[in-house]
C-alpha cells in the first residue's frame, strides 16, 4: 500500500505492519535496523511474504529491545527454520510453517488462474498475472 520511499512514514504510525511483498533485489532486507527503529515501540510485525525481506538479526534485536513487541512469522530466510534459531525461544514470536496461504479453495483458485492464463496465451491476448522478469514478480 505504501511505496518504499514512504515506508518510514508508514511504519512510524502503525500499530501493526503486515508484509506481503515479493523478494527482489530491492526488497531484500528492506525491513532492517533502520526501519525497525522508525517503528513505534511495541509494534506488531507479521511477515507473510518472503523471509529475505526481513533482516532477521535486526528483527531479533528489535524484538529483544521492545521496538517490535510481537512478530508473527510464516516465512524465514532459510526454510525450514533450523532448531538452533533463537526465534523458537522468543516468547513474543509466533512461528507458523509457511502455511499462511493454505486455504481450502487454493487449488481450485490456482487452477482457474492457470486456465485463464493459458487461454489468454493461446488466444494471443494480454496475459493477466504475468511475471515481469525485470521486476522479479
Is 98 an annotated catalytic residue? yes
Report d(CA 92, CA 71) in Å as an integer.
6
Per the residue annotation, which of 9, 34, 79, 130 is the catalytic one? 79
CA angle 132, 128, 24 (to 5 degrees): 25
Question: Residue 94 in 3-state DSSP?
Answer: strand
Is 89 an annotated catalytic residue? no
- Residue 80 preceded by cis peptide, ω within 30: yes
Per the residue annotation, which of 29, 33, 34, 98 is the catalytic one? 98
Report d(CA 53, CA 89) in Å as an integer.
22
Is 79 an annotated catalytic residue? yes
Residue pointed to by grid coordinates 505504501: 2
Residues 6+ apart with CB under 8 A from 119: none
Give the residue numbers marked as catalytic. 50, 79, 98
Amino acid at each position: 500500500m505504501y511505496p518504499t520511499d514512504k515506508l518510514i512514514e508508514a511504519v512510524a504510525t502503525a500499530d501493526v505492519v503486515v508484509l506481503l511483498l515479493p523478494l527482489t533485489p530491492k526488497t531484500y532486507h528492506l525491513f532492517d535496523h533502520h526501519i525497525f527503529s522508525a517503528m513505534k515501540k511495541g509494534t506488531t510485525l507479521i511477515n507473510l511474504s518472503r523471509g529475505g525481506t526481513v533482516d532477521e538479526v535486526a528483527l531479533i534485536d528489535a524484538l529483544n529491545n521492545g521496538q517490535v513487541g510481537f512478530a508473527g512469522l510464516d516465512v524465514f530466510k532459510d526454510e525450514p527454520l533450523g532448531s538452533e534459531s533463537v526465534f523458537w525461544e522468543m516468547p513474543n514470536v509466533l512461528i507458523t510453517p509457511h502455511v499462511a496461504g493454505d486455504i481450502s479453495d487454493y487449488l481450485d483458485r490456482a487452477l482457474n488462474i492457470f486456465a485463464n492464463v493459458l487461454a489468454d496465451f493461446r488466444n494471443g491476448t494480454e496475459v493477466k498475472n504475468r511475471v515481469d522478469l525485470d521486476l522479479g514478480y
